[in-house]
Structure 1
């Protein structure tokens, strides 16, 4: 009798153990399935069309994210600062923007991570003047009107360039204008110079409306751009950050393999000549690479200058928000 009682106890223990394991596996499976339930990834872009325009048309992001049950939502912006403001209110997860908006966001305490470098920064930002202008050097800007979008990478480039030339912002009249306002002001003579970025540099130089006074390559003041993510999102869904960069790599691979098609497409989107688009891509070639120590140091120079100029309220260490783990993971395992 004792023998049968012992056997019954053993069977009961095994039954409980098996049930517990089954329930555990069921719970884990349910958790994995529900991890992204109701999640919508919000991707910010500056304007429509371009590299992201092709991806949006082909639904490359939607296709990859929906495999995980995640929806994709797009939001268009005119410049970087509004993008970081959207991140601050949890209304945006990913964005591509210039160096100054990144620095301003970190200084303002907006929790973001820099996940890759988007543009090298040598020729994508410049100070341009009308073709018939008598302005030959930065010193000639004294007493002149210069347009710039406050908080943009061009804003930083302008102020650092003036500092190198021994000029103060009070030596000229700096007019804060977004690109849609600055272009007509530049064409009409409402301003004497314009600190801006591409495609506006190329559009104006190739159409004969303007010429470059100085850019990053000439001055040594780089204006790299970056891809960033909302920090909370990255901490919670690191694999989705890597996926975002993988799809971006796919888009860049398409552009590289179909250059003529891409040029024609981008030209039609903006209703401008192919030559202008070709010049734009030369000045602002899109990349998606880890942020090097050299670029990190250049970004720190900008941050230090902006603090000294009281354009940001506190000193920051930019290396603390640079995180290359996602782009390194994306490069190791590209999309099939």
Structure 2
């Protein structure tokens, strides 16, 4: 099952890096060496940044191999550690308990996190959300439309962006969720269930979509572009960490930019690397790139408005218990500062 675990996260693909961090200590203000009014500078003594990731390999593997995070954080005396996650919801739980400071995840997990009172900031957009989430069915399945899912078993990771996508798709088709059996499975559980026919469909993200389609194990029943449903992914930072250590947030974004630049400038090398480490044909990786290419950009007003609509829908169907104003968690200052 190793091939199916790589970056099987909430909407993030092999080219996405997820930072998680835990500050072992608080920022300390010390007098600056110069300045008429005595400039202050932050001390990072005792600070450890934990880097969380969903699956292994891909761009994350390249960054770890090159020690790009260590290279930058070492300059400030900041230690680096790593932790693995399978999807977004466990990451927000870790942020809530101060075990992570950064995460890359889909739209639904951060909506649930905000509704639960977890304090974080969205610091950049990681995927555009057009084709990175879909409902797939076995290649020879008789299911031809969302309407045909009535009475069927559908796998999905609860709280993921695929979870939101599934419910929006059902709502748009006039199908009540109670008319099918929704089985909550993480990717490493859903893949064998999908292959053996224990579920009839799977709402998931890339690379799971592309790997199943190109290996003739499945086909896309509906994706975001077909349904007009965006499932963007974002990078978030624990609010207290970002407030205390804004420079560490900027370093994270700068390293991510460096990694994405390497990938863009060395496209063929990246394709061959990712294919070899996952033992899949290069065409599979090419298709993953085409379906869901990683980015790191400021979040537009349009995306924030769409995110609000998603939050309102989740409240209406009872997935979250209170209405939220999503604009409160978006903060482009960090990504904009490194672009200037």
TM-score, normalised via structure 2 length? 0.88
Q: Distance in 2 between matches of 1:266 and 1:329?
A: 31
**Shift of the alpha carbon at 1:269?**
2.0
Q: 2:151 aligns with which of 143, 151, 159?
A: 143
SS in 2 for 1:73: strand
| Structure 1 residue ranges without an equivalent (≥5) | 1-22
Equivalence map 1:62-211=2 (5 Å): 62-211=70-219
Q: 2:222 aligns with which of 210, 214, 236?
A: 214
For residues 33-66 of structure 1, give each alpha carbon's deviation from its aligned partner in whole angstroms, at most 9, with x where no partner exists. Answer: x710010112211111111211111011110111
For residues 165-189 of structure 1, give each alpha carbon's deviation from its aligned partner in whole angstroms, at most 9, with x where no partner exists. Answer: 0111101010111100100110111
Contact 1:44/1:93 (8 A) holds in 2? no
User: Is 1:323 matched up with 2:338?
Assistant: no
Q: Distance in 1 between matches of 2:212 and 2:267?
A: 23
For residues 134-186 of structure 1, give each alpha carbon's deviation from its aligned partner in whole angstroms, at most 9, with x where no partner exists. Answer: 11111010111100000000000000100000111101010111100100110
Q: Distance in 2 between matches of 1:75 and 1:139?
A: 40
Aligned to 1:293: 301
User: Is 1:279 matched up with 2:291?
Assistant: no
Report the structure number with the largest CA radius of gyration: 1
SS in 2 for 1:122: coil
**Shift of the alpha carbon at 1:26?**
6.3
**Shift of the alpha carbon at 1:132?**
0.3
> How many residues of Structure 1 are paired with residues of Structure 2 in the alignment?
309
**Shift of the alpha carbon at 1:283?**
0.9
**Shift of the alpha carbon at 1:24?**
6.0
Query: Is the helix fraction higher in 1 or 2?
Result: 1
Q: Distance in 2 between matches of 1:72 and 1:144?
A: 45
Q: Distance in 1 between matches of 2:191 and 2:115?
A: 30
SS in 1 for 2:50: strand
For the structure 1 residues 274 and 313, does the alpha-carbon distance in structure 2 shift closer, same or farther, using more than 3 Å as the test? same
User: Is 1:305 matched up with 2:321?
Assistant: no
Equivalence map 1:214-233=2 (5 Å): 214-233=222-241
For the structure 1 residues 129 and 68, does the alpha-carbon distance in structure 2 shift closer, same or farther, using more than 3 Å as the test? same
Aligned to 2:242: 234
Contact 2:31/2:39 (8 A) holds in 1? no
The range that moved more, 42-51 or 185-194, is 42-51
Contact 2:156/2:184 (8 A) holds in 1? yes
Q: Distance in 1 between matches of 2:65 and 2:239?
A: 28
For residues 56-102 of structure 1, give each alpha carbon's deviation from its aligned partner in whole angstroms, at most 9, with x where no partner exists. Answer: 11011110111011111111100000011011111111111000011
Aligned to 1:19: none
Contact 2:32/2:40 (8 A) holds in 1? no
Contact 2:135/2:204 (8 A) holds in 1? yes
Q: Distance in 1 between matches of 2:272 and 2:68?
A: 20
For the structure 1 residues 228 and 25, does the alpha-carbon distance in structure 2 shift closer, same or farther, using more than 3 Å as the test? closer
Contact 1:263/1:278 (8 A) holds in 2? yes
For residues 182-226 of structure 1, give each alpha carbon's deviation from its aligned partner in whole angstroms, at most 9, with x where no partner exists. Answer: 001101111110000000000000000000000000001100000
Q: Aligned Cα RMSD in Å?
A: 1.7
Contact 1:246/1:331 (8 A) holds in 2? no
SS in 2 for 1:184: helix
SS in 2 for 1:226: strand
Aligned to 1:47: 55
